[in-house]
Structure 1
Amino acid sequence: MLRDTSDADLAVLRRWRNHPEVRKASFTTHEIGEAEHRRWWSAVRADPSRHVLVYEHQEIPSGVVTYSGLGGSGAGPEAWWGFYLDFDGLAERDELLPAWLGLEKAAIAYAFGPLGLGVLRGEVLEANQAVLQLHRRCGFVESGRYVRKIDGHDQVVVRVELGRDA
């Protein structure tokens, strides 16, 4: 289940985002401080093209789904999405894989349901083969690649997309 994020969620979202496994798979790998996190949250709340939801697995907050680029009109608006999970909590409950699958399915359903998107896009580091495989399993196809510097090193970024009618 996905639900709106509130101010009360901010501390746990930052803790999840700062987990070493999440940082390793992100385009921004430094540890995020409280002030930076609050600036991000203020920017999200002020921007109608962005939406952040909390994923609950078995009624326990377990992850975050972000959408950006919302607000297109017409028959096929598009948006970008990303996610991260509560690695420690889910691993402790032996629920990491089921939650990961559940989050992906919930995010897709929300994108093509309540958000009314025609195309959902994402970007994944090529080295993150587990996420790329999950996206493929859920119907995403590769739509391009580019190189991005992360921590001073060239990293290949794979763009993926999923159409509503795929």
Structure 2
Amino acid sequence: MTSVLRPATERDLDAIRRWRNHPKVRRASFTTHEISAAEHRRWWDGVRQDPSRRVLVYERAGVAAGVVTFSGLGGEIVEWSKYLDVDGLGAERSAAWVDLEHEAIDYAFDVLDVQCLGAATLASNTPVLRLHEQVGFTEVRRYVREIDGEPREVVWNELTRADLRR
């Protein structure tokens, strides 16, 4: 299966917002409300003007199927996150998660020249935490963050260039 990461464009905005607003994606996110068109536009305008941030679209077999965001570029640790087109991928979703994880890590280290990649994940999101562990991420700390007025445990993982398993 051919996959690629490419810079997000204005044409991708509706799809990105639709994917982000999927109930499964919102449940695994730190911001769980439905993102309005105006809020999404403000986010996009901010990202485009910020050289420390990058938004990429994941294409699987030539079809846009997910998003990867990087923030803190130029800093000591670059944070990343990702989500997929839950409905569009259907039965391929699990394979796409693994593929996207590898594509994003390769992009971070090979294209962005990141030295340390960090990820904040809800402790309840065990499939993502297991995937991070399989590719070499190390749990650095746990902390509590308020989400929708409730305390939620968050796991911070890091992957350094030296620890990268290819």
| Same fold flag (TM > 0.5) | yes
Picking from 125, 129, 144, the partner of 1:147 is 144
Equivalent residues in 2 for 1:41-60 (5 A)? 41-60=44-63
Deviation at 1:164, TM superposition (A): 0.7
| Structure 2 spans left out of the alignment, 5+ residues | none
Q: Which runs of 4+ in 1 moved over 4 A?
A: none
1:118 maps to what in 2? 115
TM-score (norm 1): 0.95
Give the SS at the match of 2:111.
coil
Distance 1:41 1:95 in 2: 28
Q: Does 1:164 align with 2:153?
A: no
Q: Deviations over 1:67-101 (max 9, x none)?
A: 000023xxxx420000000000001xx21011111
Distance 2:97 2:127 in 1: 11
Distance 1:98 1:164 in 2: 24
2:84 maps to what in 1? 85
Distance 1:89 1:164 in 2: 33
Equivalent residues in 2 for 1:5-16 (5 A)? 5-16=8-19
Counterpart code for 2:35:
I
Give the SS at the match of 1:117.
coil
**Matched residue count:** 160
1:64 maps to what in 2? 67
| Structure 1 spans left out of the alignment, 5+ residues | none
Counterpart code for 1:63:
G
TM-score (norm 2): 0.95
Distance 1:100 1:57 in 2: 11
Distance 1:78 1:95 in 2: 31
Q: Does 1:107 align with 2:108?
A: no
